[in-house]
Structure formats: C-alpha cells, structure tokens
Amino acid sequence: MKIIYNDGHVAECPAEEEQHVIRHSAAHIMAQAIQRLFPEADFAYGPATERGFYYDVDLGEKKLTDEDLENIEKEMKKIIKENLPFKSFILPRAEAVKLMQERHEKYKEEHIGDLPEDAVISFFQQGDYIDMCVGPHVTYTKAVKAFKITGQSGAYWKNDAKNKMLTRINGVAFRTQEELDNYLKEVEEAKARDHRKIGKEMSLFMTDDLIGKGLPMFLPNGYTVWQELENYIKAKERKLGYLHVMTPCVGTVALYETSGHWAHYRKNMFPAMEVEGENFVLRPMNCPHHMMIYANKPRSYKDLPLRIGEIAHDFRFESSGTLKGIERGRHFCQNDAHLFVTPDQIEDEVSKVVDLIFDVYKDFGIENYRCVLSLRDPADTEKYHPDDEMWNTAEDALRKVLTDLKIDFTEEIGEAAFYGPKLDVNVKPAVGAEYTLSTCQLDFCLPAKFDLKYTDKDGQERTPVVLHRAILGSLDRFMAYIIEETKGKFPLWLAPLQVKVLPVSEKTLDYARGVYNVLEDKGFRVSLDERDEKIGYKIREAQLDRVKYMLVLGAKEAEENTVSVRNRDTGATETMSLDDFISKITEEINTKAR
C-alpha cells in the first residue's frame, strides 16, 4: 500500500503502520462526509485510535440521530467509491491561519496558535475537503476498504470541562473486511458478556444518578455473591496468619500529608471537607490507617511478619467517562492487606503472596494472565517519591525476589505506585483489553514516613518493610470479571441462587414445598416457583436467571419420592433421590467445582 507524506512524497507503507494510516485516512473521509451532510460543521480533532478513529465536531445545536450516523457512513462509501486522491501541501503560519479563517475553522485556527513557532504546518486535501494534519495518508480514498461508524459521545474541546462540549463520532477501520467482521463479532460477544447488562438481568446491582455516578449498590443477589467472595478470601488469609481489621472510610488531610498521598495522589481523591476546624477526606486507599495500627504499640522482631488484612471501602474520584459498572467506580472495596516484615523476610513473604495469588487463580480457572514488574519513571518527579537510593534498593530487591522465584515477568516503566515498585498480575479477559487484577507492592517509603519501628534481636530499633498486596484486587472488579468470564453462570458455590424447585402443577405443590424446606434447612440458596404457570415457561425463566439446578417435580417424582434434576450447563435431566442430590451439590460446593 502506498502512502503520501506531508511533504508530498509517496512511498510504500511499512506493514506495521498500515492500520494506523488507514484509520487516520478514514477519519478524514468521515469528516468530508460530515461536511457534505452538515456544511455548518466545525472540525476539531480527528485522530486514529488503537482500533479505529474519531472526529470531534462542533455541530451547533444539531443532535445526531442513529439515522444521521447511517447517512454519514453511506456518504463515506460514496467518497471511497469516487476514489479521490489525497494531496498534501505546507503553508507558512500566516497563510495557514488565513486559510482556516476563510474556511471558518476556528478550532484549527486556535490549534495553530498552540503549535511551536518552528512547527511545520501541513494540510491534506481530498476533493473539496481540506484538513490540517501531519499525515501520512493513503494516496486514494479507495484504499479504505473496511470500516464502520460505531456511535457518538460527548467530548470537551482540548479535554477541558471549561471548554465547549463537542460531538465525538467514532468508527473502526481495518485492512480487510474479514478483520472488520471478526472485530464486530468480538463486539457482539462483549455485549453479551457485559457485566452491566448481566447485572441488570440477574438483579445483581444497580446505579442511580440521584445517588451519584460511579456509586453502585449491590442488590440481594449481588450482595450474596459479594459476601461469598469476602468469606472465601478471608478464610484463605486466616489460614496464612492474616489478622483482619476494620478501619474508617475517612481520615484527616494530615494523615494523607504524612503518607504522601496528598502530594502525589490528590487529583484522584475527593475534595476535603471541614468539620470543627479539621479537614477530612474520603480515603482512596487503606495503607495510612494500617500504618497507624502498626504504630499503636511497640513491636519486636518476634512480632514480624505482621499481616493486617481488610475488606476496605475506598473512594476515588474517577472522571465520569471512565466509569464502568462495578468494574470501575468511585466507590469500591479492596481485598487489601499490609505485611510488615524485616528485610530478610521479604523474599519468603512475597513468595507466599505469589502462591496465594496463583492458588486463587486455580480455584477460579484463571489461566490467561501475565506478570509485570512495574517500575517508576525516574524523570517523573511529580508522580513519584523523590529518593533515588530508596527506589534503587526497592526495585532491585523485588526484581531479585521474582527472579529467584523463577516467575516469568516483563518490566514496565512508569507503572509503579508513588511509594514503591510492584508486581502486577494482569489478566486477559474473554473480551477486551487486559487489566490488573492482583498486585504486590514493596514499600520502603511509607514505614519511614510514619516512623515505624521494631526492636531487632540485637536490641536496636529498625524500620520494617511493608508489602502492600491485593489478591482479588477489589471485590467489585473481581466480581465484574467473573460475571463476564462466566456470562453470569456462576459456579454453584458462588451463585446467588443455587437451586430452583419447579412443581409441574398444583397437584405436586405440597411435595415441592417439602423438597424446598429440606434444602432451605440445610442452608442451600433455593427458591420455589409456586406460580400457576406451565412448566416450560418456568424452566425458560429459570434458564434466564442462570440457575445451575432446576428440580422439576411432577406426579412421578412425588410418587417415587425423587427429584428430576435439570442441569443448566448441559441441558440434561437426571432423576435421583433427594439425598443423592444433596450429596451431589454439597460435594460441588465444598470442592468449589467450576
């Protein structure tokens, strides 16, 4: 594929750049289509993205409909069929400004003012459309073969809420129709798995703007799952010597000034609130509270390692555009813990944390993940605590531990916490981009800031090292992950409803009630459908509820004192005694079978 650069020369496109050039060119073609359909449109930015492209456009009072988006796509196809050549030219600053003024392009004109004095101001033109751009682009519009408009959203000019809200029109583009078709299938799969959609269908959680964006509420079904996750991880931690605590959701600004969060993390925190002359803030994380628990009394080397755990409520200010159900909210509950250790205990404790992570992943069948050693960016003096010696010590120590443990890992600069390096375990979900689920951070910084001490065996005071770790990450995000991986078909031990009893008719209702009572008395999560509906309707509804086992009870079952067990996952039906069924599901729950 040939491409044209802003100086006018044409060359073969490097293979690794093809997608980007196609998508950038598609953005220009879309802008031309918008200009034809809405001549009053004023264009801002139109870049390529990881999988597509967008253009931010000022359409005045015009609100685009789905039909408008379809028409834009149709017009793009016309422009591609016209096979217009892309041409480039460069103008001096004054002439560039004049051209934008003549074309009433106020956003482009403002953008020119933001460019360095020595910037090359280049333009690309196809047909009657001219766009200020550095390029490169395809040589003819016909080179854009596979694309689709995917929707619209709002976007502030220059990403600044003080500026005007523009209309962002989004699209995707690929080299071939096959690649586009595969992407669209992936999108449909993502929609089917979306935890927000499934959460609504299964009555797991809800949000309401009157309560606040990013503040989800767990409904009875969802809270059941949440509690099972909490009980699961706490039981594992207790066996490993963790001591669980409960700490407040607020702290003084002074607490976070001491920890360094106020200096390095303030933009992610909610504003402070004044009470009786003292400033408080909703906590974004729990380490300062746990530091104070450690400092509550004198400690000896014999007390270490000290493992403090908490399912802690945290609050972070996330922009509304980044919020996503319970995967990313402004309130969430971390499966948090802080391990206070001596330097010679670091490797053993990190090893135990890593073992716990992989043990949990085995229980949940999580196999697609990778380990990352997240390091600071030494050039970023604003984000990171300024202590080169501390950073070098901490990074070398964690790198050595991971190497000694024979853990395969990559290193990424600029992904560390502000106070120390960390091991991130990134999972690749069934659909979508990978994200961090579990983490273990090595911290020499905060113990010193809080002046934490322990008395060593030689009687000298030493400063402990702290491991910050989260196994499930936040319960909220982990639950979202499990919902999307299973499509809401939870393993039996985790399911909000484990068994649904379905009498075929009123004649077997008394027998069904007896079965229900036995199961409820034994602690299973069970419901009884007593409605006067056809059994086929009851079964279909239970399937929509994603219930693992349905007990279909007719006259034969009542007469023989058996249950007909319909399996959600296989669709198969098996008849057995109630005792055998109880033994079956008890085993399945106890072994946490998937």
For residues 34 and 36, give the distance between their C-alpha atoms in angstroms, rounded to a whole number.
5
| CB distance 144 to 164 below 8 Å | no
| CB distance 426 to 368 below 8 Å | no
| DSSP run (H or E) holding 381 | none
For residues 498 and 332, give the distance between their C-alpha atoms in angstroms, rounded to a whole number.
26
468 among known catalytic residues: yes
For residues 249 and 284, give the distance between their C-alpha atoms in angstroms, rounded to a whole number.
9
| CB distance 454 to 301 below 8 Å | yes
| CB distance 443 to 468 below 8 Å | yes
For residues 295 and 303, give the distance between their C-alpha atoms in angstroms, rounded to a whole number.
13
For residues 345 and 539, give the distance between their C-alpha atoms in angstroms, rounded to a whole number.
56
For residues 197 and 207, give the distance between their C-alpha atoms in angstroms, rounded to a whole number.
12
Amino acid at 582: I
| CB distance 567 to 546 below 8 Å | no
336 among known catalytic residues: yes
Residue in this structure with the two tokens 């029109």, named with its chain if needed: 169
Residue in this structure with the two tokens 């005007």, named with its chain if needed: 164
Amino acid at 361: Y
Secondary structure of 278-322 in HEC code, one letter for each residue:
EEEEECCCCHHHHHHHHCCCCCEHHHCCEEEEEEEEEECCCCHHH
126 among known catalytic residues: no
Residues in Cβ contact with 458 at an 8 Å cutoff, skipping those fewer than 6 apart: none
For residues 574 and 478, give the distance between their C-alpha atoms in angstroms, rounded to a whole number.
33
Find the catalytic residue in 42, 194, 336, 443: 336
Find the catalytic residue in 36, 196, 468, 469: 468
Peptide bond into 429 cis (omega under 30): no
* Per-residue burial over 214-227, b = 16 or more CB atoms within 10 Å of its CB, e = otherwise: bebebbebbebbbe
For residues 385 and 259, give the distance between their C-alpha atoms in angstroms, rounded to a whole number.
10
Find the catalytic residue in 338, 352, 385, 546: 338
306-315 vs 243-244, strand pairing mode? parallel
Find the catalytic residue in 23, 137, 316, 566: 316
Please measure the distance between the N-terminal and C-terminal CA atoms of the chain and give it in whole angstroms.
Answer: 48
Residues written for the chain: 594
Residues in Cβ contact with 288 at an 8 Å cutoff, skipping those fewer than 6 apart: 251, 255, 256, 258, 259, 261, 446, 450
- Of 334, 232, 338, the C-alpha closest to 292 is 338
- Of 59, 52, 60, 53, the C-alpha closest to 34 is 59
Find the catalytic residue in 23, 261, 422, 469: 422
For residues 585 and 579, give the distance between their C-alpha atoms in angstroms, rounded to a whole number.
10
For residues 572 and 53, give the distance between their C-alpha atoms in angstroms, rounded to a whole number.
47
Find the catalytic residue in 287, 371, 440, 445: 287
Find the catalytic residue in 35, 126, 152, 334: 334
Would you give the DSSP letter of residue 17?
G
Distance of CA 80 to the CA centre of its chain: 37
Which residues are identified as catalytic?
287, 316, 334, 336, 338, 422, 468
